[in-house]
């Protein structure tokens, strides 16, 4: 595998978002949506979370759902952002990364590319390109959240910075198997839209069946590890021992890319 | 001469349909090869296997000592795949420069090479245009340009001039002719006169089988055939031509065309033929030394 060619593919993906009008429109729309989320749900929830009046109730509620550590954060904006982002970014990444190779394959553009690089370099380069795009978008919202918190209380920025970095990294790692799943679905469907449909079917029907089988027959509970996002419940509460769970999405992403590579190697273009 | 492509016992099925069956041939360095055959004969399938887009069911393909898809071929084998298009969201220059960079060039060299190949196809003026803004013919020429990036040793062009206007088709033929010898070309086309002018070797595919492999297209025995196209051709003309000394056979291949077979005689047949035409005040359209590719493939 040639790393230079792989990196060239990743760079080209970045220009798709940041060097085209369509890309900038998408970034603008994304920013506006998150502006609304920060301005209303998060901004308005912070006083409630910090209020001494509701402290007992909030702690009790948070403790029930395993978020006790989070409500103790003085950086309340980051805590709320973390919970919202953890459940929205994975599905958002499914939509953003829905076209990695499928449209190029339909158009025949892949034929020009595979005369100049291996199929695996194309697959991996496009995957990392999407990871970089997600990293940029998540980073953008993280910085915005940090800025909003700094406007409320500037002293919290220094203690919030490491937490922001950790949130950025954990969110990105969480998104990895979702991006890799779209890499795979791009190879077995004929359009980006069909890839999204298949992803939705996977997360509704197949994931439900797997969860049901795991519940009824505990010996098959390990199958849950196949589902991207399975670790989310483990990391939501920011427990001290939860970082090990972040290995799950990394392994899932590697496995999905492995399957994708096998399919791409064998399939006709 | 070095063999650049060697295909042995190649077979490819699509479901129950056999697209290629026991195809064997060798292509020598510097050859310009015509891949001919009716629709559905397996030409594009053969192209696709050589380019590594399809895997054969059996048989082997060896290109410059490597299997298709091998990394050492990346800067040596290029192609114009049929119906493949560039990304309509990006400019021509950006995409070609990216291809050149994938081939190992740095940014500056890639840009210079992009400008070079666009000049070759007379499209420098559309470098900044998106492919969605170009006409079909222009898109085709851009795709031909990408095949010439770097210094490819083998170029496969599938229907390169299909859909081009006569002027641009001629320009592409001239371009190929100017690069003959330096590059081994494999061309597929339904325009036999085009292939005849450009190619020295013919592979004729029919129903997935290689039914003809001629590597001496322009080296037929000197003076054994003349193809004559006449205005108002009639039986009397044919009979008089058949009576010329040395003529062994006259066959009418089209309403206005005769293929004259002859043996060497003291007086050259072309001279006596022209004398006969002049004496009878006939009008000829064309005299070809030898047989046309069309006659070689479909009449004999």
Q: Please give the pLDDT value at position B221.
A: 57
- Dihedral sign (CA B190, B193, B198, B199): positive
The reply to whether B265 falls in a domain is yes
**Residues of chain A with C-beta less than 8 angstroms from the C-beta of B52:** 114-115
The percent of residues in chain A predicted with pLDDT above 90, rounded, is 78
- Number of domain units in chain B: 2
Beta bridge partners of B77: B154
Q: CA distances (Å), A24 to each of A20, A75, B30, in order?
A: 6, 31, 48
Better-scored residue on pLDDT, A160 or A57:
A160
The reply to whether B62 falls in a domain is yes
DSSP states of chain A as a string? --HHHHHHHHHHHHHHHHSSHHHHHHHHHHHHHHHHHIIIIIHHHHHHHH-TTTHHHHHHHHHHTT-HHHHT-S-HHHHHHHHHHHHHHHHHHHHHTS-SSHHHHHHTHHHHHTTTS-HHHHHHHHHHHHHHHHHHHHHHHHHHHHHHHHHH-TTHHHHHHHHHHHHHHHHHHHHHHHHHHHHHHHHHSSSHHHHHHHHHHIIIIIHHHHHHHHHHSGGGGGGGGGSTTTTHHHHTT--GGGGGGGHHHHHHHHHHHHHHHHHHHHS--
Q: CA distances (Å), B118 to each of A176, A213, B114, in order?
A: 40, 60, 6
Q: Please give the pLDDT value at position B211.
A: 80
Residue at which a domain ends, from B172, B189, B214: B214
| A-chain residue closest to B156, CA distance | A115
Do residues B207 and B268 both lie within one domain? no
The reply to whether B220 falls in a domain is no
Chain-chain contact of B53 with A20 (C-beta, under 8 angstroms): no
How many Å apart are CA A177 and CA A171, to the nearest integer? 11
Chain-chain contact of B71 with A2 (C-beta, under 8 angstroms): yes
Contacts of B154 (CB under 8 A, 6+ apart): B4, B5, B63, B64, B76, B77, B78, B183, B184, B185, B186
Nearest to B117 by CA among B172, B162, B72, B74: B172
Q: Please give the pLDDT value at position A237.
A: 87
Do residues B236 and B202 both lie within one domain? no
**pLDDT tens-digit readout, A113-156:** 999 999 999 999 999 999 999 999 999 999 999 999 999 999 99
Do residues B195 and B73 both lie within one domain? yes
User: Which of B54, B69, B81 lies at the smallest CB-CB distance from A108?
Assistant: B81
**pLDDT tens-digit readout, A197-232:** 999 999 999 999 999 999 999 999 999 999 999 999
Supply angle C-alpha B238, B243, B245, rounded to 5.
130
Residue whose structure tokens are 């064997």 = B24
Residues A132-137: contacts with CB under 8 Å, at least 24 apart: A132/A10, A132/A13, A132/A14, A133/A13, A133/A14, A133/A17, A133/A96, A133/A97, A134/A89, A134/A93, A134/A96, A134/A97, A134/A172, A134/A175, A134/A179, A135/A168, A135/A172, A136/A14, A136/A17, A136/A18, A137/A27, A137/A30, A137/A96
User: Which of A16, A112, A118 lies at the smallest CB-CB distance from B84?
Assistant: A112
**pLDDT tens-digit readout, A3-14:** 999 999 999 999
Residue at which a domain ends, from B180, B214, B248: B214
Q: Please give the pLDDT value at position A65.
A: 66
CB-based burial, B42-55: b 16+ in 10 Å, e otherwise? bbbbbbbbbbbbbe
The reply to whether B242 falls in a domain is yes
For chain A, positions 61-120, list CB contacts with chain B under 8 A: 104, 107-109, 111-119
Do residues B252 and B210 both lie within one domain? no
Report which DSSP code applies to B265: -
Each residue's pLDDT expressed in tens, for chain B with a length of 300 residues:
689 999 999 999 999 999 999 999 999 999 999 999 988 899 999 999 999 999 999 999 999 999 999 999 999 999 999 889 999 999 999 999 999 999 999 999 999 999 999 999 999 999 999 999 999 999 999 999 999 999 999 999 999 888 889 998 999 999 999 998 889 999 998 888 888 888 988 899 999 998 876 765 665 555 588 999 999 999 999 999 999 988 999 999 999 999 999 987 778 888 999 999 999 999 999 998 888 888 887 776
Do residues B160 and B269 both lie within one domain? no
Do residues B153 and B70 both lie within one domain? yes
| Residue B91 touches partner A, C-beta closer than 8 Å | no
How many Å apart are CA A54 and CA A240, to the nearest integer? 26
Chain-chain contact of B99 with A109 (C-beta, under 8 angstroms): no
| A-chain residue closest to B150, CA distance | A116
Range of the domain at B7: 3-214
What SS3 state is found at B224?
coil
Nearest to A171 by CA among A79, A256, A90, A65: A90
Do residues B189 and B235 both lie within one domain? no
**Residues of chain A with C-beta less than 8 angstroms from the C-beta of B99:** 112-113, 116
Chain-chain contact of B53 with A268 (C-beta, under 8 angstroms): yes
Residue at which a domain ends, from B214, B233, B261: B214
Q: Please give the pLDDT value at position B295.
A: 81
Q: Please give the pLDDT value at position A243.
A: 82
- Number of domain units in chain A: 1
User: Which of A112, A118, A268 lies at the smallest CB-CB distance from B99?
Assistant: A112
Rounded (10°) angle between helices B107-120 and B92-102: 120
Do residues B265 and B208 both lie within one domain? no
What SS3 state is found at B231?
coil
Beta bridge partners of B185: B32, B155
Report which DSSP code applies to B92: H
User: Which of A109, A117, A268 lies at the smallest CB-CB distance from B74?
Assistant: A117
Asked if B187 and B117 count as a contact pair (C-beta separation under 8 A), the reply is no
How many Å apart are CA A145 and CA A31, to the nearest integer? 12
User: Which of B83, B94, B102 lies at the smallest CB-CB distance from A5?
Assistant: B102
Residue whose structure tokens are 């076209």 = A99
| Residue A2 touches partner B, C-beta closer than 8 Å | yes
Chain-chain contact of A108 with B69 (C-beta, under 8 angstroms): no
Q: What is the CATH number of the domain that holds B52?
A: 3.40.50.300
Do residues B32 and B148 both lie within one domain? yes
CB-based burial, B126-149: b 16+ in 10 Å, e otherwise? bbeebbeebeebbbbbbbbbbbbb
The reply to whether B219 falls in a domain is no
| A-chain residue closest to B89, CA distance | A20
Range of the domain at A31: 3-266
The reply to whether B246 falls in a domain is yes
Contacts of A201 (CB under 8 A, 6+ apart): none
How many Å apart are CA A48 and CA A52, to the nearest integer? 9
Average pLDDT for A4-31: 92
Chain-chain contact of A112 with B55 (C-beta, under 8 angstroms): no
**Residues of chain A with C-beta less than 8 angstroms from the C-beta of B81:** 108, 111-112
| Residue B84 touches partner A, C-beta closer than 8 Å | yes
Mean pLDDT for all residues in chain B: 91
User: Which of B53, B75, B103 lies at the smallest CB-CB distance from A111?
Assistant: B53
Whole-number CA gyration radius for chain A: 20
For chain B, positions 129-148, list CB contacts with chain A under 8 A: 143, 146
Chain-chain contact of B71 with A118 (C-beta, under 8 angstroms): yes
Q: Please give the pLDDT value at position B12.
A: 96
How many Å apart are CA B94 and CA B157, to the nearest integer? 22
pTM score: 0.88
How many Å apart are CA A91 and CA A195, to the nearest integer? 13
Q: Please give the pLDDT value at position B77.
A: 96
Q: Please give the pLDDT value at position B220.
A: 54
Report which DSSP code applies to B167: H
Do residues B233 and B268 both lie within one domain? yes
């Amino acid at each position: 595998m040639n790393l230079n060619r792989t990196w060239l593919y990743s760079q080209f993906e970045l220009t798709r978002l940041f060097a085209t009008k369509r890309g900038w429109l998408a970034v603008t729309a994304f920013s506006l949506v998150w502006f609304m989320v920060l301005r209303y749900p998060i901004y308005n929830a912070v006083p409630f979370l910090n209020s001494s009046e509701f402290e007992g109730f909030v702690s009790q509620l948070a403790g029930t759902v395993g978020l006790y550590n989070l409500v103790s954060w003085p950086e309340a904006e980051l805590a709320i952002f973390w919970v919202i982002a953890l459940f929205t970014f994975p599905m958002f990444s499914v939509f953003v990364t829905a076209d990695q190779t499928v449209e190029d394959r339909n158009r025949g553009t892949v034929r020009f590319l595979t005369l100049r690089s291996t199929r695996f370099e194309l697959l991996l380069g496009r995957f990392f390109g999407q990871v970089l795009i997600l990293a940029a978008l998540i980073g953008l919202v993280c910085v915005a959240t940090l800025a909003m918190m700094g406007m409320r209380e500037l002293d919290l920025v220094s203690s919030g910075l490491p937490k922001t970095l950790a949130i950025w990294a954990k969110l990105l790692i969480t998104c990895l198997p979702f991006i890799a799943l779209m890499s795979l679905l791009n190879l077995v469907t004929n359009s980006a839209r069909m890839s999204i449909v298949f992803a939705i079917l996977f997360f509704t029907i197949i994931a439900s069946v797997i969860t049901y089988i795991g519940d009824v027959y505990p010996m098959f509970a390990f199958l849950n590890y196949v589902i991207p996002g399975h670790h989310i419940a483990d990391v939501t509460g920011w427990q001290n021992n939860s970082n090990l769970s972040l290995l799950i999405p990394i392994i899932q992403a590697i496995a999905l890319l492995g399957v994708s590579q096998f399919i791409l190697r064998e399939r006709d273009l | 001469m070095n063999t650049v492509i060697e295909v042995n016992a190649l077979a490819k099925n699509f479901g129950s349909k056999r697209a290629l069956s026991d195809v064997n041939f060798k292509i020598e360095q510097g050859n310009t090869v015509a891949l001919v055959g009716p629709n559905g004969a397996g030409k594009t399938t053969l192209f696709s296997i050589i380019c590594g887009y399809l895997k054969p069911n059996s048989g082997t393909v060896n290109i410059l000592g490597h299997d298709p898809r091998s990394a050492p071929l990346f800067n040596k084998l290029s192609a114009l795949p049929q119906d493949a298009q560039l990304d309509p969201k990006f400019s021509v220059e950006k995409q070609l420069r990216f291809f050149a960079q994938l081939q190992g060039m740095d940014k500056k060299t890639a840009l210079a090479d992009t400008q070079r190949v666009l000049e070759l196809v007379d499209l420098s003026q559309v470098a900044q245009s998106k492919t969605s803004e170009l006409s079909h013919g222009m898109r085709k020429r851009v795709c031909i340009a990408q095949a010439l990036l770097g210094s490819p040793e083998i170029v496969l062009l599938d229907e390169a001039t299909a859909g081009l206007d006569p002027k641009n088709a001629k320009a592409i033929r001239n371009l190929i002719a100017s690069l003959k010898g330096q590059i081994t070309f494999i061309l597929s086309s339904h325009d036999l006169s085009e292939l005849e002018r450009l190619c020295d070797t013919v592979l004729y595919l029919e129903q997935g089988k290689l039914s003809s492999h001629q590597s001496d297209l322009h080296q037929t025995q000197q003076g054994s055939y003349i193809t004559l196209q006449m205005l108002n051709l009639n039986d009397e003309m044919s009979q008089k031509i058949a009576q010329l000394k040395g003529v062994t056979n006259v066959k009418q291949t089209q309403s206005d065309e005769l293929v004259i077979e002859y043996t060497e005689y003291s007086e050259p047949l072309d001279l006596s033929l022209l004398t006969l035409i002049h004496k009878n005040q006939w009008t000829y359209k064309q005299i070809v030394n030898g047989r046309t590719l069309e006659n070689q493939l479909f009449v004999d």
